[in-house]
C-alpha cells in the first residue's frame, strides 16, 4: 500500500496528462492546413493578377508607371490653343416641316368630271384651272332662275301700275279704301317674290362656278386623285379632287422645354430675329437657315413643352412637307469667351480639368465648363493663348514631361475653329441645350 503513493503524487504534479495532448495536436494540424490553403489561394491571385497586368504594362512601354516623370520618356501629345471668340447658346429639338397652307380640295357639287388640267407634282399658281365638272345642269338652273326672275319682275311692275291708278281713284273718292290697301299689300308680296328669285339666281350662279375649280394659292399639287369621267360627289371628303401644299416659303414646327421659354421670350419681345438652322436626320448636314416666326400661346401640360414655328424661304426646295429635321434655335451669342475643343476636357467625378502645357510639362488645371457648340466649349479657369493637351490622356499625369507631336504645333493644326463653323457634335434631343462634358 505504501508503494502506490509516489505514483499518485507524480500524476497530480503533471499539468499535461497523456490524454490531453491529442486534442492540442489536432488543433495545430488544422491551423497549418488552413494556412496552406490560404497560401495557395494567395499564390493563384498573384499569378492571375500578373497575367492581366502584363499586356497593359507592355502597351505602356516596359511596365513602369505610365506617364511618370522620368519613366519611359516624355509623352507625345497633340496640342490645342485656347482662343477668345464668340459662341452661340442654342436650343435643339426635332421638328416637322409644315407648309404654310395645305388645301385638300373637294367638290361642292355633284357631277361628272370633264377635264383634269393639272399634272402630278406640278407647281400651280393662284387662279390656275385644276378640274372641270360638267356645267350643263347648272347652266340650265341659272337660265330657269333668270326666267322666273324676269316673270316676277314684270308682275311686280304691273302691280305697281295698278297701285298708282287706285291711289288716283281714291283721291277722287271713286273707290273704297280697302281696295287701295289690298293693292299695296299685293305690291309688297310681289317685291318679296322678286327678291327670292334674285337669291335663287345668285345661288345657281355660285353653283355654276363650282364646276370650274381653280388653285386657291400658289403651291405644288400631289398625285392625281381623279380622272375624267369620274363622278364627283358633293362634299365627299373621302374622295378629294386634289391636294395642294405651299412650299415657298415653308415652316418648321418644333418644341422646346418650358424652362427655356424665358430666355427665348427675352430676345423675341425685343424684336430680335432669332436664327433657326435645319439639319438632316444625322444632324450633320445643314439643309436650310430661317428665322423664328412665332410662339404658341399654350404650354403642353402633359410634356411641359412649347411649340415654336420657324419660317424658311426654301427657294431650293430642300425642305419637304412632313419631313423630320433637327432644328437649332440660336437664342443668343456670348462674346469674348475662352474656347477650347471639347475633346481636351477631362473629368474626375464632377470636376472638369485640362492638362495645361507649360515649359514642356503637363500641369493639371481645374476649369469650369460653359456653353458647348459642336466640338467647341467655352471654359473658365484658363486664358486665351494657353496650350492644352488634346490627346494621350491615358499616359498623362501631373508634371508629366511632354513633347508636341510633329505637324501639330500650337496655333497651327491644334487650335480651335470658330464656333459658328462647327456642326452639332451630337444629335439634338427633344429640346434643350447640348450637355457639356
In a domain, 330, yes or no: yes
Grid cell locating 95: 421638328
pLDDT range class, residue 359, cuts 50, 70, 90: confident
Q: Which of 207, 190, 234 is nearest to 145 (CA)?
A: 207
Could you tell me how far CA 392 lies from the centroid of its own chain? 36
Look at residue 424 in the predicted model and tell me its pLDDT: 53
For residues 313-323, give the mean pLDDT.
Answer: 94
Beta strands in 209-304 (DSSP E): 212-214, 219-221, 231-232, 242-245, 250-257, 275-279, 286-300
Q: Are residues 201 and 258 in the same domain?
A: no
Residues 167 and 226 in one domain: no
Half-sphere exposure of 187 (CA within 13 A, CB side): 15
Note the pLDDT tens digit of each residue in 2-12. Answer: 444 444 444 44
pLDDT computed for residue 38 by the predictor = 85
Are residues 221 and 192 part of one domain?
no
Domain boundary residue among 209, 233, 261? 209
| Residues 356 and 251 placed together within one structural domain of the fold | yes
Whether 183 is in a domain gets the answer yes
Q: Are residues 279 and 387 in the same domain?
A: yes
State the pLDDT at residue 377. Answer: 93
Q: Is-above-0.85 flag for pTM?
A: no
Answer with the residue of higher pLDDT: 424 or 193: 193
Residues 267, 119, single domain; the answer is no
284 shares a domain with 257: yes
Grid cell at residue 78? 497633340
pLDDT value of position 34: 83
Comparing CA positions, the residue from 368, 367, 373, 415 lying closest to residue 390 is 415
- Asked if residues 280 and 326 have their Cβ atoms less than 8 Å apart, the reply is yes
Per-residue pLDDT band for 45 (boundaries 50, 70, 90) equals confident
Q: Which residue has the higher pLDDT, 427 or 109?
A: 109
Beta pairing, strands 75-77 & 400-404: parallel
State how far Cα 211 lies from the chain centre: 43
What is the pLDDT at residue 269?
A: 87
- Report whether 299 contacts 262 (CB < 8 A): no
Query: Among 195, 220, 245, which residue terminates a domain?
Result: 245
Q: Is the domain of 292 the same as that of 241?
A: no
Domain total in the chain: 3
Helices 177-209 and 136-171 pack at an angle, to 10 degrees, of 160
Least confident piece of the model among 37-51, 150-164, 207-221: 37-51
Instruction: Answer whether residue 434 shows pLDDT above 90.
Output: no
> Exposed/middle/buried for 205, CB within 10 Å: 0-12, 13-18, 19+?
middle
- The pLDDT tens digits of the residues spanning 363-406 come to 899 999 998 888 899 999 999 999 999 998 888 888 889 888 87
**Could you tell me if residue 364 is inside a domain?**
yes
Looking at the fold, whether 172 and 217 belong to one and the same domain comes out as no
Q: How far is CA 8 from CA 17, 18, 19, 222, in A?
A: 13, 15, 16, 123
42-44-49-55 Cα dihedral, nearest 10 degrees: 160
* Cis, peptide link before residue 128, omega less than 30° from 0: no
Q: Are 159 and 187 in contact (CB under 8 A)?
A: yes
**Which pLDDT score is estimated for 99?**
95
Per-residue model confidence (pLDDT) at position 53 = 54
pLDDT band of 410, cuts 50, 70, 90: low
Select from 435, 92, 95 the least CA-distant residue to 257.
92
Q: Residue 196: give the domain boundaries.
A: 136-209
Specify whether 128 is located in the same domain as 253.
no
The answer as to whether 45 is a domain residue is no
Can you give the pLDDT at residue 330? 93
CATH number (domain holding residue 189) = 1.10.287.470
CATH code, 387: 2.40.30.170
At 36 the pLDDT is: 85
Count of alpha carbons within 13 Å of 273, Cβ hemisphere only? 6
Please indicate, yes or no, whether residues 415 and 346 belong to a single structural domain of this protein.
yes
Domain of 229: which CATH number? 2.40.50.100
Q: What is the per-residue pLDDT across 163-186, written as a single tens digit (0 to 9) for each?
A: 999 999 999 998 899 999 999 999
Q: Of 150, 184, 209, which residue sits at a domain end?
A: 209
Burial of 293 (0-12, 13-18, 19+ CB in 10 A): middle
Domain assignment of residue 82, yes or no? no
Flag whether 51 is in a domain.
no
pLDDT at 52 over 90: no
Q: Above 70 in pLDDT, residue 428?
A: no
Tell whether 357 is covered by a domain.
Answer: yes
Minimum mean pLDDT among 26-30, 194-198, 321-325, 341-345: which range?
A: 26-30
DSSP at 342: G
In a domain, 199, yes or no: yes
In a shared domain, residues 196 and 237? no
Mean pLDDT of 143-160: 96
Amino acid at each position: 500500500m505504501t508503494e502506490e503513493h509516489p505514483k499518485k503524487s507524480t500524476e497530480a504534479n503533471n499539468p499535461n496528462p497523456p490524454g490531453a495532448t491529442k486534442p492540442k495536436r489536432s488543433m495545430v494540424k488544422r491551423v497549418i492546413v488552413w494556412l496552406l490553403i490560404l497560401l495557395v489561394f494567395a499564390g493563384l491571385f498573384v499569378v492571375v493578377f500578373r497575367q492581366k497586368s502584363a499586356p497593359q504594362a507592355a502597351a505602356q512601354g516596359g511596365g513602369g508607371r505610365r506617364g511618370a516623370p522620368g519613366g519611359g520618356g516624355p509623352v507625345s501629345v497633340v496640342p490645342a490653343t485656347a482662343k477668345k471668340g464668340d459662341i452661340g447658346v442654342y436650343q435643339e429639338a426635332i421638328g416637322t416641316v409644315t407648309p404654310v397652307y395645305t388645301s385638300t380640295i373637294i367638290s361642292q357639287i355633284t357631277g361628272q368630271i370633264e377635264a383634269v388640267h393639272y399634272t402630278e407634282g406640278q407647281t400651280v399658281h393662284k387662279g390656275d384651272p385644276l378640274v372641270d365638272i360638267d356645267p350643263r345642269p347648272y347652266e340650265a338652273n341659272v337660265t330657269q332662275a333668270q326666267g322666273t326672275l324676269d316673270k316676277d319682275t314684270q308682275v311686280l311692275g304691273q302691280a305697281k301700275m295698278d297701285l298708282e291708278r287706285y291711289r288716283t281713284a281714291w283721291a277722287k273718292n271713286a273707290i273704297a279704301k280697302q281696295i287701295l290697301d289690298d293693292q299695296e299689300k299685293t305690291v309688297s308680296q310681289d317685291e318679296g317674290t322678286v327678291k327670292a328669285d334674285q337669291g335663287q339666281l345668285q345661288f345657281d350662279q355660285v353653283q355654276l362656278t363650282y364646276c370650274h375649280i381653280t388653285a386657291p394659292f400658289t403651291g405644288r399639287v400631289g398625285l392625281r386623285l381623279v380622272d375624267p369621267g369620274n363622278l364627283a360627289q358633293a362634299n365627299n371628303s373621302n374622295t378629294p379632287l386634289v391636294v395642294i401644299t405651299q412650299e415657298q416659303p415653308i415652316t418648321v414646327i418644333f418644341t422646346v422645354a418650358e424652362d427655356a421659354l424665358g430666355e427665348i421670350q427675352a430676345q423675341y419681345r425685343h424684336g430680335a430675329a432669332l436664327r433657326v438652322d435645319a439639319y438632316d436626320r444625322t444632324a450633320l448636314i445643314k439643309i436650310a437657315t430661317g428665322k423664328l416666326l412665332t410662339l404658341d400661346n399654350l404650354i403642353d401640360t402633359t410634356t411641359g413643352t412649347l411649340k415654336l414655328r420657324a419660317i424658311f424661304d426654301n427657294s431650293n426646295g430642300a425642305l419637304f412637307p412632313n419631313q423630320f429635321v433637327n432644328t437649332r434655335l440660336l437664342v443668343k451669342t456670348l462674346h469674348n469667351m475662352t474656347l477650347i475643343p471639347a475633346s481636351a476636357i477631362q473629368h474626375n467625378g464632377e470636376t472638369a480639368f485640362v492638362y495645361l502645357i507649360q515649359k514642356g510639362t503637363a500641369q493639371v488645371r481645374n476649369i469650369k465648363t460653359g456653353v458647348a457648340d459642336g466640338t467647341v466649349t467655352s471654359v473658365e479657369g484658363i486664358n486665351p493663348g494657353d496650350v492644352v493637351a488634346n490627346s494621350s490622356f491615358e499616359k498623362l499625369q501631373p508634371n508629366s514631361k511632354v513633347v508636341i507631336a510633329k505637324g501639330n504645333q500650337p496655333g497651327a493644326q491644334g487650335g480651335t475653329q470658330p464656333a459658328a463653323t462647327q456642326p452639332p457634335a451630337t444629335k439634338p434631343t427633344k429640346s434643350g441645350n447640348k450637355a457639356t462634358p
